[in-house]
């Protein structure tokens, strides 16, 4: 395809503005339209991109012939209706995380994209991050040995949302990485959290996930915390890795640390020896992950190929979020992923 893809961005708020900037500069794309229901926001963003027309109603975008792909970056509660509207109108669609706030809604979007033969991508940004791609190659290449457990911290004193709690706002990032690295869904999920600032909107949530083979993951999210942390620690039988997104350039540290079994001729406990070797800081591309992600969407639309973070990936993460939400509402009772479909439907 030689013509550029006409892109419309719906929701040009704090994060949407970053998407607009990246799509305006993506190769093979052209910013056709900007849409926001807030006239002030629309005027602000529109003034920076005079090449794009501005509209306040997404239905106008759905009806536009010069728009082939719609980017949904509105508040999470409106992801589902806006993405459905665009897919039904035959557009390719990029939706910010979380794909939806309900499993059946995510399933419907995936089904609709398949029926209409449209591209559906979710903004699981970290999967496009060069450091996480490096980590994934290490895991797949067996360099870490067997993966034992992963834990993440995504906390700060930050933007307090009303339509979604800290779980749905922050945890999609960590869960998408955990599922990507461990290559499958958890057996069950336990979550505890508390709503300190607003009734029924949890500000802090601790999630525990149990995977086949005894592997574990733990996710701590909060927008009520003195630290700003964006950290994922991966512990394998051979090596351990820390991804720290707050580091300007040294995002990944690989620790050649572990506990080895020396041999079977000594008593079992004596056969375990601690290995504390070198720490490696690999050189990782510092390209903006969002730029990579936006270009990936444009390339997938042009080449008609499934994105790395497609609708199925979005649905997988929504399922885990829904299980965690169900557990939260039951005071931390374990919720099996397999039981979820019947409960949500
Ligand atoms: N990938 C990331 O790292 C990342 C980071 C922050 C936010 N996000 C996601 O981006 C999305 C937007 O977040 P934000 O921080 O920019 O929120 P925001 O509240 O600053 O902006 C949302 C914008 O959408 C507009 N909007 C809402 N409903 C609309 C509708 N029906 N039609 C048109 N416009 C509508 C609002 O007027 C507002 O300007 C959220 O889904 C959020 O989860 C992703």
Q: Which atom of ligand 1 is nearest to the CA of 11?
A: 24
Cβ atoms of 22 and 78 within 8 Å: the answer is: no
Q: Which atom of ligand 1 is nearest to the CA of 56?
A: 33
Asked whether the bond before 98 is cis by omega within 30 degrees of 0, the reply is yes
- Domain map (residue ranges) of the chain: 5-123, 127-288+321-335
User: Could you tell me if the CB of 167 is within 6 A of ligand 1?
Assistant: no
Exposure of 124 in the CB half-sphere (CA atoms within 13 A): 30
Tokens of 280: 């490696």
Distance (Å) from CA 99 to ligand 1 centroid: 12
Query: Hey, is 308 helix, strand or coil?
Result: coil
User: Could you tell me if the CB of 36 is within 6 A of ligand 1?
Assistant: yes
Which residue's entry shows tokens 């728009």?
A: 67
What is the rounded CA–CA span in Å between residue 112 and residue 306?
15
What is the rounded CA–CA span in Å between residue 218 and residue 240?
16
Cα separation values, 58 from 93, 133, 244, Å: 13, 34, 37
Instruction: Give strand ranges (E) for the chain.
Output: 5-10, 29-35, 53-55, 69-72, 92-96, 120-123, 147-157, 188-194, 204-210, 216-222, 224-236, 240-244, 252-261, 272-280, 335-336
Distance (Å) from CA 104 to ligand 1 centroid: 22
What is the rounded CA–CA span in Å between residue 59 and residue 67?
12
Superfamily of domain 127-288+321-335: Dihydrodipicolinate Reductase; domain 2 (3.30.360.10)
Query: Hey, is 2 helix, strand or coil?
Result: coil
**Tens place of pLDDT for every residue, the chain, 345 residues?**
558 999 999 999 999 999 999 999 999 999 999 999 999 999 999 999 999 999 999 999 999 999 999 999 999 999 999 999 999 999 999 999 999 999 999 999 999 999 999 999 999 999 999 999 999 999 999 999 999 999 999 999 989 999 899 999 999 999 999 999 999 999 999 999 999 999 999 999 999 999 999 999 999 999 999 999 999 999 999 999 999 999 999 999 999 989 987 765 666 666 788 988 899 999 999 999 999 999 999 999 999 999 999 999 999 999 999 999 999 999 999 999 987 755 543
Question: What does pTM read for this prediction?
Answer: 0.96
Task: Using most ligand atoms within 8 A of CB, pick from 8, 9, 10, 15 the residue to mutate for ligand 1.
Answer: 15
Cα–Cα nearest to 156, from 82, 240, 227? 227
The answer to whether 5-123 and 127-288+321-335 have equal CATH topology is no
What is the rounded CA–CA span in Å between residue 150 and residue 138?
14
Tokens of 194: 């508390």
> Domain 5-123 maps to which CATH number in 3.40.50.300, 3.40.718.10, 3.40.50.720, 3.40.50.150?
3.40.50.720
Task: Using most ligand atoms within 8 A of CB, pick from 9, 12, 16, 46 the residue to mutate for ligand 1.
Answer: 16
Q: Which atom of ligand 1 is nearest to the CA of 290?
A: 1
Cβ atoms of 132 and 245 within 8 Å: the answer is: no
């Amino acid at each position: 395809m030689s013509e550029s893809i006409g892109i419309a961005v719906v929701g040009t708020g704090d994060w949407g503005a970053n998407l607009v900037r990246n799509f305006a500069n993506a190769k093979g794309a052209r910013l056709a339209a900007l849409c926001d229901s807030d006239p002030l926001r629309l005027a602000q963003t529109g003034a920076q991109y005079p090449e794009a027309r501005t509209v306040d109603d997404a239905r106008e975008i759905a009806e536009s012939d010069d728009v082939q792909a719609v980017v949904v970056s509105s508040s999470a509660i409106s992801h589902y209706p806006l993405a459905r509207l665009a897919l039904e109108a035959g557009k390719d669609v990029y939706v910010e995380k979380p794909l939806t706030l309900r499993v059946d809604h995510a399933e419907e979007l995936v089904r609709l994209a398949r029926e209409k033969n449209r591209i559906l991508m979710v903004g699981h940004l970290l999967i496009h991050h060069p450091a996480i791609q490096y980590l994934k190659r290490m895991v797949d290449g067996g360099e870490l040995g067997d993966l034992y457990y992963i834990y993440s911290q995504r906390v700060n004193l930050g933007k307090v949302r009303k339509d979604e709690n800290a779980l749905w706002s922050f945890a999609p990032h960590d869960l998408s990485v955990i599922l990507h690295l461990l290559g499958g869904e958890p057996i069950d999920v336990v979550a505890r959290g508390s709503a300190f600032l607003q009734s029924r909107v949890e500000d802090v949530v601790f999630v525990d996930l149990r995977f086949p083979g005894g592997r574990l993951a733990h996710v701590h999210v909060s927008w009520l915390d003195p630290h700003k942390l964006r950290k994922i620690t991966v512990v394998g039988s051979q090596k351990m890795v820390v991804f720290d997104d707050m580091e300007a350039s040294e995002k990944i540290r690989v620790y050649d640390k572990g506990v080895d079994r020396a041999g079977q001729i000594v008593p079992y406990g004596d056969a375990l020896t601690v290995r504390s070797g070198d720490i490696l800081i690999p050189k990782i591309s510092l390209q903006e992950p969002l730029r990579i992600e936006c270009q990936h969407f444009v390339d997938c639309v042009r080449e008609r190929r499934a994105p790395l973070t497609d609708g199925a990936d979005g649905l997988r993460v929504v399922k885990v979020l829904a299980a965690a939400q169900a557990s939260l509402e039951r005071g931390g009772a374990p919720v099996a992923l397999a039981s979820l479909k019947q409960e949500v439907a």
